[in-house]
Chains A and B, each alone.
Chain A
Amino acid sequence: MISRRYALLLAALGALLLVSCVISLGFGPARVPVDVVWRILLHKAFGFGEVNWPAGQAHIVWLIRVPRMLLGALVGAGLALIGAVLQAVTRNPLADPHLLGVTSGATLGAVIVVLHVGEIIGLLTLPIAAFIGALASMLVVLAVASRNGRLESDRLLLCGVAVSFVMMAAANLLLFMGDHRAASAVMFWMLGGLGLARWELLAIPAATVLLGLLILLGMARPLNALMAGEQTAVTLGLNARTVRLKVFLVASLMTGVLVAISGSIGFVGLMVPHIARRLVGAEHRRLLPVCALLGSVFLVWVDVAARTLIAPEDLPIGVATAAIGGLFFIGLMRKR
């Protein structure tokens, strides 16, 4: 049911994303004019044009800001997708990627590494430890939530919240008793940030988000049916438990990868799906692409704010998304 209006909206959002990506590269502690950004990009990517800019600017744009912008776009798209499908399968408009316990598991993994293991395999140690923590907490949530071979959405959410609290308690206890300097390294996971972005790290989140989008689009019809209720889903030939389990697994794995690289960035997964539904409705084949694009645009710009507001310091991006998201919801409530 792709109407012309929808195709136009998709094209407009795609264009907005591309423009945002390029313009955002100019912002940061050191301003780079947009035309220079554009020429650096063309030169680095395709070898066009002559070099007539300082090497420092090229370095900042190509090695620092581009990977960071790409990571922001990927994380934004991923979190928005996860939020949308979790809200649908749990039929809870407040579901959010971080409610599943995955984020606090990642934090605990990171804390353990920072305090007791050290960076034994280099730069990737922390993300890997965070991902292992995320996987562990996902398995715990699943084990606790399923009962008699059933997996009910309310139990899933409650178990996610409960496991989150326990994991956070453990992480906080370790932090409290441990080295206070290590605490600042862990703050990164709690507040979120795109500072880890490197070209060589981008492949994993890119593959995760694209594959996730593809899988979830394939499940769009079951997701629609699940919104109508458990029994209705069965009468439409679906096994509600299997659908829910698949969505939960895909969402948790995606969240695990994204959180391992960028920490817990809140509110994107909660807020963007609601905005996207206002634009195109709740039907998932229409909703998911719009969610991904909006999430990307949103996070690219929030990261611009994060790196300019208190420059040369980096504001943790989770702080910015939480502030914007909270204000957004208050605004939404006052308008109604």
Chain B
Amino acid sequence: MTALSLTHLTWTPRDHGSCHHQFHLCDASLHVAAGEFVGLIGPNGSGKTSLLRCAYRFSKPDQGDVLLQHQNVWKQSAKWCAQRIAVVLQEFPDAFGLRVDEVVAMGRTPHKGLFDGDTVHDRQLVCSMLESVGMQGFEDHAFATLSGGEKQRVILARALAQEPHLLILDEPTNHLDPRYQLELLRLVKRLHIGTLASIHDLNLAAAFCDRLYVIDHGRIIASGTPHEVLTAELLHDVFGVQALIDTHPLSGYPRITWITQP
């Protein structure tokens, strides 16, 4: 079953003026099946974030459709979408000192009406999600005092508290040290909900993703399993760098070694 399909999306940024051709999308199609971990890779400015923004109903595509569980997201409300898609962004401004449990409880917002209080279920969810990201015991810490990696995990707990059918992650491993990079991706993978993640580190993408899409200049130029996609030619064409591709000796997924000598 398809959890998310983006079909032939075209999108042009409005704020940057006509001279700016970065970040646009052109005829981009992408599918995420239920329970599948899909990675989106591509160089800086290739349109990864733009594509994700279209997928979580932040940007409205000029052409093409975004279908979530076979429903057009722009025919549904933002609230409907937020009950089904949770997003982990790289945005956590916090000027006023919210506590960790309050940040996680925010994830319940799409399931709440005007004067609804917190139920026992809500409180249990907050606790168990904090536990699942390894942040139990931090409930009454101020969010702003956490390290970057801890913040990222709390934001993931918030996304999980939304009880989503689909997760979208924008560069989830940025700012994390290797241990938490692996832990976070392992955790997401264990959840077995459809996931679309943009990932910078190609070795991580190869290790965790069931399928990969490669985006360049706003177009999807390749897709398939990591073995099909991650070839030396593609890396050279898209990223402009030389790499050796072999197989990881322990796990069998492709391993990329950058050739740094001129």
Q: Interface of A with B (CB < 8 Å)?
A: 1, 87-88, 91-93, 148, 217-219, 221-222, 224-225, 227-229, 231-232, 234-239, 277, 281-283
- List of A residues within 8 angstroms of B99 by Cβ: 281, 283
CA distance A222 to B32 in the complex (A): 30
Nearest Cβ on chain A to B105's Cβ, whole angstroms: 7
Nearest Cβ on chain A to B12's Cβ, whole angstroms: 14
CA distance A237 to B159 in the complex (A): 12
Judged by a CB distance under 8 angstroms, whether B106 is at the interface is yes
Q: Knowing A224-B102, A236-B106, A281-B102 touch, does A229 contact B78 (C-beta < 8 A)? A: no
CB-CB nearest in chain B for A215: B114
CB-CB nearest in chain A for B88: A235
- List of A residues within 8 angstroms of B81 by Cβ: 237
| A91–B91 touching, CB < 8 Å | no
| A228–B94 touching, CB < 8 Å | yes
CA distance A88 to B91 in the complex (A): 16
Number of interface residues of B (CB under 8 A): 40
Judged by a CB distance under 8 angstroms, whether B235 is at the interface is no
- List of B residues within 8 angstroms of A225 by Cβ: 106, 109
| A91–B93 touching, CB < 8 Å | yes
Of the listed residues A229, A234, A277, A281, the one surrounded by the most CB atoms of chain B closer than 10 A to its CB is: A234
CA distance A237 to B58 in the complex (A): 10
| B110–A224 touching, CB < 8 Å | no
| B106–A93 touching, CB < 8 Å | no
Which of B83, B93, B103, B105 meets A237, CB within 8 Å? B83
Show 19 residue pairs from A and B whose CB-CB distance is below 8 angstroms, ordered by the A residue. A1-B102, A218-B114, A218-B115, A222-B109, A224-B102, A229-B91, A229-B92, A232-B89, A234-B78, A235-B56, A235-B82, A236-B107, A237-B77, A237-B80, A237-B82, A237-B110, A277-B97, A281-B99, A282-B97
| B95–A227 touching, CB < 8 Å | yes
Which of B53, B56, B80, B94 meets A227, CB within 8 Å? B94
CA distance A235 to B81 in the complex (A): 8
| B89–A282 touching, CB < 8 Å | no
| A281–B86 touching, CB < 8 Å | no
Which of B56, B79, B106, B114 meets A228, CB within 8 Å? B106
Which of A88, A228, A234, A239 meets B103, CB within 8 Å? A228
- List of B residues within 8 angstroms of A282 by Cβ: 96-98, 102
- List of A residues within 8 angstroms of B89 by Cβ: 229, 231-232, 235
Judged by a CB distance under 8 angstroms, whether B125 is at the interface is no
CA distance A234 to B87 in the complex (A): 10
| A234–B58 touching, CB < 8 Å | yes
Judged by a CB distance under 8 angstroms, whether B189 is at the interface is no
Nearest Cβ on chain A to B85's Cβ, whole angstroms: 7
| B112–A227 touching, CB < 8 Å | no
CB-CB nearest in chain B for A242: B78
Nearest Cβ on chain A to B46's Cβ, whole angstroms: 19
Mark B119-149 against chain A: 1 for CB-CB distance below 8 A, else 0.
0000100000000000000000000000000
Judged by a CB distance under 8 angstroms, whether B177 is at the interface is no
Which of A1, A228, A235 meets B93, CB within 8 Å? A228
Mark B204-241 against chain A: 1 for CB-CB distance below 8 A, else 0.
00000000000000000000000000000000000000
Which 6 residue pairs are nearest across A and B when measured between Cβ atoms? Answer: A237-B82, A237-B110, A237-B79, A282-B96, A235-B87, A236-B109
| B95–A229 touching, CB < 8 Å | no
- List of A residues within 8 angstroms of B200 by Cβ: none
